[in-house]
Amino acid sequence: MKTEILKPTEENLILAAEMIRAGELVAFPTETVYGLGADGLNKSAREKIYIAKGRPSEKPLTLHVADLEQVERVAKISPTAEKLFEKFCPGPLTIILPKNKNLPDFVTNDLESVGIRFPANETALKFIKFSGCPIAASSANISGETPPKNSQEVLKNLNGRIKIILDGGECQFGISSTIIDLSFDIPKILRIGTISVDEIKKFLNIEG
């Protein structure tokens, strides 16, 4: 398989979206790191991410969305989640929410929650909108390697494993998103990323 690096022209974004709808993989930029995406509601497409990365099959994938309407289709938005979306999104924050009952179990690896990411990157947002579906994604690297910050690093990791890399230049931050779990009563920060723990705690008025 030949891997191509494409500039994010409208024509190429439409091509990438068509590939997503056809069940293929596309690497794309975000403000944190490059992601490897597939149609989040297509079971066989999602499985290709695990194969391409060598990612353990039990690890769930985050759904990348372009607006809150897409969030509402897949997850239950609590008042706390609504506040976080309003404050930090689009931005480098992944929010884990209770999934909607109509969301197939394969989307969440049989978990009752789903991770949502609303990236603050123009190329990513256009790509997701053109695709017309939430994009399941993980960082665009071989599992265990450093997440890529530019298209050449993606190519080094995944050359011959995927067809298209959308080249959005160097990522703004170069480190992964902060993850907060709101699927239980008490918010829990699972990964420290671009947004600091203190910033989130101060905003939500969480002590400790």
- pTM above 0.85? yes
Domain-by-domain residue ranges, the chain?
4-77+102-175
d(CA 53, CA 95): 23
Domain 4-77+102-175 has CATH 3.90.870.10: yes
30: helix, coil or strand?
A: coil
Question: What distances in angstroms separate CA 90 from CA 22, 76, 201, one per listed residue?
Answer: 27, 18, 19
Question: What distances in angstroms separate CA 40 from CA 26, 108, 115, 169, 203, one per listed residue?
Answer: 12, 10, 11, 25, 30
Residue-wise pLDDT for 59-94, tens only, equals: 999 999 999 999 999 999 999 999 999 999 999 999
Helix (H) or strand (E) holding 188: strand 188-191
Residue-wise pLDDT for 147-203, tens only, equals: 999 999 999 999 999 999 999 999 999 999 999 999 999 999 999 999 999 999 999
Strands 26-28 and 164-166: parallel
d(CA 126, CA 121): 9
